Amino acid sequence: MKHYETLFVLRPTLTDEETAKHIENIQNVITANGGEIAATDKIGTRDLAYEVQKNKRGYYTIVYYKAPGAAIKEIERNLRINEDVIRFITVKYENKKEQKQWEKFVSEVK
């Protein structure tokens, strides 16, 4: 399994319960597709660099996980069809140096 990090930004108008539900849904998609979640960093509400879909702020969350490559398509599909997700990006850590950095990020979040 490969090391991944997915950052996604949710609408700032969501309640705490709705935000937690969306984060849990994404984590469930990861585990349902054979992934193992190492850590979740709920950064919180921050200003966006530029306005996106009439939003000036967003709730940032980063999920660090290991998953097979085929799972990424399903994870990104779920993020794409969710109307409350403003933006997302998935980063793959390939070589040993990058994987050590991934492990450092995970240890800092825990």
Residue-level pLDDT, tens digit, the chain, 110 residues: 889 999 999 999 999 999 999 999 999 999 999 999 998 999 999 998 888 888 899 999 999 999 998 899 999 999 999 999 999 999 998 888 888 887 887 788 76
pLDDT value for 76: 93
Radius of gyration of the chain (CA): 14
Domains of the chain, CATH where assigned = 2-109 (3.30.70.60)
Nearest to 90 by CA among 99, 101, 79: 79
